[in-house]
Amino acid sequence: MRGRRRVAAAATAALLAGLVGLAACSEPAARERPDPAPASPAPEPTASDTTPPVADTDHAVDPPGERDGRLWSADVLVQWDKPIDDALLARIEDLRGVAHTERIGLGQVSLENRVLTVAAVDPGAYRHFTQAEVADLQEAWDRVAGGELAIDRTVAERVADPETGMVRLGADDAPSLHVGAYTPQLPTIDMVVNTAWADDIGMDTDNGLLISTDAVAPAGIRKPLQRLVGEDASVQMLDVASRLGLDPDARLTAVPAGGTLGSVVGTFRYQVLGGGRIAPEPAWVAASIRTESVPILGSVTCHKDLFPQLRAALLEVEQRGLADEIDPGQYAGCYYPRFIAGTTTLSNHSFGLALDLNTRDNQRGTVGAIDRDVVAILKTWGFAWGGDWRWTDPMHFELAEVKRVG
């Protein structure tokens, strides 16, 4: 018992140390990148801080106050591509084994080739599904209510600006949020915002449902729940996801939020296969993926909406006498339906919206040797370049803006 108390106390101390902006990062960096530069430490909260902080008055909701009520286990997560129907919710809540539910918004945003899941929540209600140390970390929920972001520290180290503590949720025109708290997240969720942000991010506030089965094994409600919600909904067992990263028996759903990713991809349903591969639903592949010929590279397989801009960009590269700066033999592909190596995170390659050029001399973490005039042309035609990222990937280009061609 004393050992468990020491572990809980250590966990709480670690969470408190992570509050308020991006403090100096002390965890080991991911294997594939160097340590991030530390930002200036932020002050710790004190007992005299009684007024909940409001970082963004335009995106604030009522502060939640102290936790009131019991905690619930986060056992099942259901996701639709539209708001849940009230009548369906009532039928779900009547299912034997369903002890408690909470509606949340779920959307996916693309940050530096990583498709991450954002949850838009009511801070006062959602906190009851988190672990005790997180649920009782009052300042974290006050900061989410005040318009800031709660995020796993490891994710923040990759995507947050180390100097400002801001995270841009998408391409250049996407909103930026300040990191208010580093907190562990529920399986399959990467970051949490309040519901006032949903419209600006381009996501719903109630297309997801958290379910607690309390004392009943979650697997016992899977089949009746799936029959109720239909095949178009994703039903994930979070106890399985916490062990394996994802529930391999779930038919997963990504609903890209706002911007280019949302307008081009639409609802993306897929099944997890072995070896890091995924199987997008055949209807999406048939409607979205094409093999066509483009200048310099020849025949490539990508999302159909990528081709007009890619073709125009490569044609301009040719016309400006720069074709020799792109080596077709070092083209590493566009459409790859799989997770980023060693993760359960989708990349834009899964949607056919990214391509890798001149791979040999443009490895991750380097400035890259790709011709900067070629880079500038691709940027002009709406492609973001991985060489601009905090952890560089100079071979990588991805569609960031839809432009009219011709």
Over residues 256-276, the pLDDT tens digits come to: 887 778 889 999 999 999 888
| Ranges of each domain in the chain | 13-265, 276-399
For 111-149, give the DSSP string: ETTEEEEEEEE-HHHHGGGS-HHHHT-HHHHHHHHTT-E
- Listed range (102-106, 121-125, 156-160, 235-239) with the worst mean pLDDT: 156-160
Question: What pLDDT does residue 258 have?
Answer: 72
Sign of CA dihedral 15, 17, 23, 28: negative
CB count in 10 Å sphere of residue 17: 15
Residues in the chain: 406
Instruction: Match 């993760």 to its residue by tokens.
Output: 343
Instruction: Provide the β-strand partners of residue 168.
Output: 176
Task: Please state the pTM of the whole predicted model.
Answer: 0.85
The alpha-carbon radius of gyration of the chain (Å, integer) is 22
Question: What pLDDT does residue 130 have?
Answer: 97
What gap in Å lies between CA 313 and CA 296, rounded to an integer? 11
Residue pair 144/219 in contact (Cβ under 8 Å)? The answer is no
Question: What pLDDT does residue 12 have?
Answer: 45
Over residues 158-203, the pLDDT tens digits come to: 889 989 999 998 876 789 999 999 999 999 999 999 999 999 999 9
What gap in Å lies between CA 251 and CA 311, rounded to an integer? 34
CB count in 10 Å sphere of residue 103: 20
Q: Extract the tokens encoding 178.
A: 């300040």
Which position has the higher pLDDT, 312 or 215? Answer: 312
Question: What pLDDT does residue 95 have?
Answer: 96
List the helix and strand counts (H, then E) for the chain. Answer: 13, 17
- Domain made up of 276-399: CATH architecture: 2-Layer Sandwich (3.30)
Residue pair 303/288 in contact (Cβ under 8 Å)? The answer is yes
